[in-house]
Amino acid sequence: MRVVIAGGGTAGHINPALALARALTDDEVTFAGTTTGAEATLVPRAGFPLEIIEVRGFDRSRPASIVATGVQALRAVRQSIELLRRTEADVVVGMGGYVSLPACIAAARLRLPVVLHEQNIVFGLANRLCRPFARRIGVSFEETLKQAGLKGAFVGNPVAPEIATADHDLERARGYERFDLDPSRATLLIFGGSQGARRVNEAALGLTSIWAERSDLQILHIAGRVHAEAFLEQARQRVGEGALIYRVVDYVEDMVSAYAAADLALCRGGATTVAELCVMGLPSI
């Protein structure tokens, strides 16, 4: 069976999509996405073909932009129809995010079955719009079944097999080495999702002052590509010659060793993050 998976923008949509694609071992999987979202890097790196759709999300803070966004969305539907014909798709899976909307509309026009997956407890805009013509809707939380109606199925949120089957002790040792951490210290992992989060980053920075003299603690801070360099310099100034170990990186594609090395996580509660934390058994705030 030829499957087209559409969704993207952030790793919260892409990582479950990749987990699903890797489970479809007997099927031919193609991704539909953009050149600017997380899928542009993560999908090819995972070894799956990525077909480009020119689409962008609607900026709700600028209502006037809806006209330009609408025009682009119409073009994206035409591109999606061409993509589905070219790949001879048998089914389209919409994983949410603005990329999935034109692909699912195109599938409906071509009378192809549409399957949706909602990672969050409340339906996102794209999945709400695609819900009427979807064949089946997988949800991550039982509480979401009511929104899905008779089409709904409680399937959970797919996580990568390396997380689901991780050897915790082995990955913990790898994490210490990978991030230059001290195995004798308790480790706090701080991150704000694939894009980073200003408030979470500021909290991390505040801890570097409070814990500057703690020789029993260390912080692994994933700050996001935009913020990492600036926060590293500020943290160095605050820690100074103190005893605290503070490691900051911009982005971690493979989170298994980061999770395993940590004793506690302070992070944003995105649906995919919550699923991964639960599987790894990592206490979190």
Which sign does the torsion angle of CA 60, 10, 129, 57 carry? positive
Residue 234 has what pLDDT? Answer: 74
Residue 67 has what pLDDT? Answer: 47
Mean pLDDT by runs of 10 across the 285 residues of the chain is 91 91 96 90 94 73 52 84 96 92 96 96 92 96 94 95 93 96 97 73 84 93 75 71 85 91 92 92 95
- Bridge partners (DSSP) listed for residue 246: 219
- Range(s) within the chain of domains with CATH label 3.40.50.2000: 2-158, 165-280
Residue 58 has what pLDDT? Answer: 53
Residue 167 has what pLDDT? Answer: 95
Report residue 6: phi and psi, to 5°: -120, 130
Residue 217 has what pLDDT? Answer: 95
Say which residues have a Cβ less than 8 Å from residue 159's Cβ, sequence separation at least 6.
15, 16, 19, 272, 275, 276, 279
Report how far apart, in Å, the C-alpha atoms of 3 and of each of 32, 50, 161, 180, 198 are.
10, 12, 20, 41, 37
CATH for 2-158, among 3.90.1150.10, 3.40.50.2000, 3.50.50.60, 3.30.365.10?
A: 3.40.50.2000
Q: Taking the domain 165-280, which CATH number applies?
A: 3.40.50.2000
